[in-house]
Structure 1
Amino acid sequence: MQEITLDEYKKALLHLLDYFDTFCKKHQISYSLGGGTLIGAVRHKGFIPWDDDIDIYMYHSEYEKFVKHWKDTQNITLAGLYDKNYRCFCCFDKIYDSNFIFEDYTHQFGNLFLDIFIYDFVPDNPKFIYKNIQKIKFFKKLTRSFVKLSHKYGLMRGIFLSCAKLLEKKTLSLLEKWRLTYTDANCENIAIFMSEYAKSEHFIMPKQYFSNVVYLPFEDRKYPCMNNYDEHLKKYYGDYMKLPPINERVAPHSFKYYKAN
């Protein structure tokens, strides 16, 4: 492997975003820049200087269309392509480029990636939404615990894995029921169900945010962004135009970057 700089790694990220954007345009798939990438577009007209990833927001229905048309290449792959349960169970998916590698702070290695955060339709009842999202997240956490226990206690591996599969089935059933009940036709809001990082009340937003995207400069290109990006970013990040303290301006995922041989 050849070590590269953060700027060189960002160029590779931008190349992956271009690939993703071209694919979405070809198949008429809607999306928006999100999270820190959206802040970067608004505040810096490009990457946040110390950031090392890209975040995308997408409706669940658009994501399923995306998966339907997607084809892996030799180096660019979609994590959830061949696993329907993964796609249903997760609030996000990842597109990887195996040509580039990062080393995180625990000295673990991973491929360069783009995060797709998936939004579902939700009713206009924040307490009901919060209750159900917490229930789903609890089942997911419990499932992971049983999987970990199956590795720790080999003699009871079968029992723990059976419990994990039952919980996963229960969670998938709840999610499928939700997605059949709450649709574009009867809902005005959207939310991320399974996020481990977002407070649910912050990640609930009107679906109209995605109705007409605006194109904002990002590096020397333009990408689609939700039309009410300012309202969304203020709700979740507060005064997002203010730079954080210098000691917080660090890459969130890694500290070394490489190009594969």
Structure 2
Amino acid sequence: MAKAVDDGRVYLSLEEVHEELLKLLLLFDDFCKVHGLRYSLDSGTLLGAVRHKGFIPWDDDLDVSMPRPDYERLLSLDGELPEGLHLVNALNSVFAFGFCKLCTDKIRAQEPSYEGRMDEMLWIDIFPVDGISPDLDEALKTWKAVHRTTRRNVWATVNHQAERGLRRVLKTACGALLRLGDPRGEMLHAIADAVSNPGYERAGRVCCLVGGESGLWTLPKDGYEATVEMEFEGHLLPCMCCWDEFLNELYGDYMQLPPEEERRTHCIKAWRV
């Protein structure tokens, strides 16, 4: 159950966060069906569907991905989203990454890294999937260019209070220096270059170039685009049919539960507004 704390807010329990995230996911699913948008459960959410038939018990977010053409259409339809929902990205906020979040206006959900930088609302992460060169060296070069500029923008954007000791001092100082330039512009330029070469439609393999620290993985485009329905908290939702290959790439022996000390969350604080 939600509980009150010293600051007067009533924070949602993890179970209540799951309930609200599921509502948001089902609204997103309905919207995609109405507008013919393709998507797949992704990352830890896909793993949760396979291993737990729902949320990973300690997880506090939801991840989906979309082919780049569908992702761009979604951005263009922001104004047609159901009332109370909106998209947040690096173009309309200080969000530091090259993907977007579908947010609800009803629930604040603050991460420590954006405290004092951006008032966050409960969200679903939506990752664009792009075409990638079949040449591994070329693909790695492309991924590194996006990853390098994204990391610089993150360092310049978020606060570093969660870091300890010397790491916090160094990241804070580096972030201040990076802000003297245009780290967001550099990131967006690198993403635009990567998206256009070879382009989603011309590619035979795809990957997520903007997904953070998970490293480079590639999948056959036909395997990613073809979806199967999997159970997630009692609902059937689309998942890439190459889910086993994908989860092996990301997590290795993905059916094995990680040690308790590796069961990480976003450490969000969520409350109703």
Same fold (TM over 0.5): yes
The question of 1:68 aligning with 2:76 is answered: yes
The question of 1:228 aligning with 2:242 is answered: yes
1:30-83 Cα shifts (integer Å, max 9, x gaps): 0000011001101111111111100001111110111122225653210139x3
The question of 1:258 aligning with 2:271 is answered: yes
Which of structures 1 and 2 has the larger relative contact order (alpha carbons within 8 angstroms, sep 6+)? 1
Q: Quick one: which amino acid aligns to residue 147 of structure 2? A: K
Distance between the aligned counterparts of 1:107 and 1:78, measured in 2?
17
Distance between the aligned counterparts of 1:234 and 1:151, measured in 2?
34
* Change over 3 Å in CA distance of 1:46–1:126 after alignment to 2: same
Question: Partner of 1:78 in structure 2?
Answer: 87
The question of 1:237 aligning with 2:247 is answered: no
Alignment partner of 1:191 out of 207, 212, 231: 207
Q: Quick one: which amino acid aligns to residue 26 of structure 2? A: D
Q: Quick one: which amino acid aligns to residue 124 of structure 2? A: L
State the SS of the aligned residue for 1:98.
Answer: strand
The question of 1:2 aligning with 2:16 is answered: no
Question: Partner of 2:108 in structure 1?
Answer: 101
Partners of 1:91 and 1:119 within 8 A in 2: no
State the SS of the aligned residue for 2:60.
Answer: coil
Q: Quick one: which amino acid aligns to residue 133 of structure 1? A: W
Question: Partner of 2:57 in structure 1?
Answer: 49
Partners of 1:91 and 1:192 within 8 A in 2: no
Counterparts of 1:22-61 in structure 2 under 5 Å? Answer: 22-61=30-69
* Change over 3 Å in CA distance of 1:213–1:73 after alignment to 2: closer
Unaligned runs of 5+ in 1: none
State the SS of the aligned residue for 1:100.
Answer: strand
Q: Quick one: which amino acid aligns to residue 119 of structure 1? A: V
Partners of 1:54 and 1:115 within 8 A in 2: yes
Question: Partner of 2:169 in structure 1?
Answer: none
Q: Quick one: which amino acid aligns to residue 219 of structure 2? A: M
* Change over 3 Å in CA distance of 1:142–1:151 after alignment to 2: closer
State the SS of the aligned residue for 1:62.
Answer: helix
Distance apart, 1:254 and its partner CA? 1.9
Distance between the aligned counterparts of 2:196 and 2:152, measured in 1?
25
Q: How many residues were matched structurally? A: 247
Unaligned runs of 5+ in 2: 1-8, 158-171
1:9-48 Cα shifts (integer Å, max 9, x gaps): 1110000001111110000000000011001101111111
The question of 1:123 aligning with 2:100 is answered: no
* Change over 3 Å in CA distance of 1:245–1:180 after alignment to 2: closer
Question: Partner of 1:182 in structure 2?
Answer: 198
1:203-259 Cα shifts (integer Å, max 9, x gaps): 221112223200000011111000010111012101111111234345x01264322
Cα root mean square deviation, aligned: 3.2
Partners of 2:206 and 2:218 within 8 A in 1: yes
Distance between the aligned counterparts of 2:153 and 2:17, measured in 1?
35
State the SS of the aligned residue for 1:58.
Answer: strand
State the SS of the aligned residue for 2:209.
Answer: coil
Distance apart, 1:116 and its partner CA? 0.7
1:164-187 Cα shifts (integer Å, max 9, x gaps): 1xx655554454344334134432
